[in-house]
Amino acid sequence: MRPDPQRVMQTALKTLEEVAAGLSDAQEISRLRGVQSLLSILQREWDTCASTRLAGISRYTDIVRRGSLLVTGERHERLTRVLVETGRNASDFRISSLEMSLDHLRAAVIDLQSWLEDSEGAQERALLEAVWRAEYEDAKSEDRNHFFW
């Protein structure tokens, strides 16, 4: 039977706390506190890491799909390739695969965003606002303002 990752992390945190209590060297204590911080972050994100990435993939896929309908030529082909690749990997729920899909979609959205910012139509403006909302949601779900990041 495989141990529950949450329980393993909690046990490791407790063990590190006990080890740190027995140390007197400030540098060693600091190093252990750093490892404890990492484990705490992992523990906090454990249950939500896949779902937040899937939500981001869904948001960005919608934007890229909508954008591909507005553009032509090489940009349309690039966006379409990203959509096809994302669809091909849709059933792969490994975090590394989800991260890769999300990275490709983010790059496509950046490409699309540069075009949208130079466009003046109502559909383009609405899509640009959707990009901003998606980027805001993305930033909230991956809060890099945490003290450790």
Run of H or E including 28: helix 26-45
Share of the chain above pLDDT 90, in %: 53
pLDDT at 149: 43
Q: For residue 72, give the DSSP letter.
A: -
pLDDT at 143: 58
**Residue 91 identity (one-letter amino acid):** S
Mean pLDDT of 110-119: 94
| Residue 57 contacts residue 83 (beta carbons within 8 Å) | no
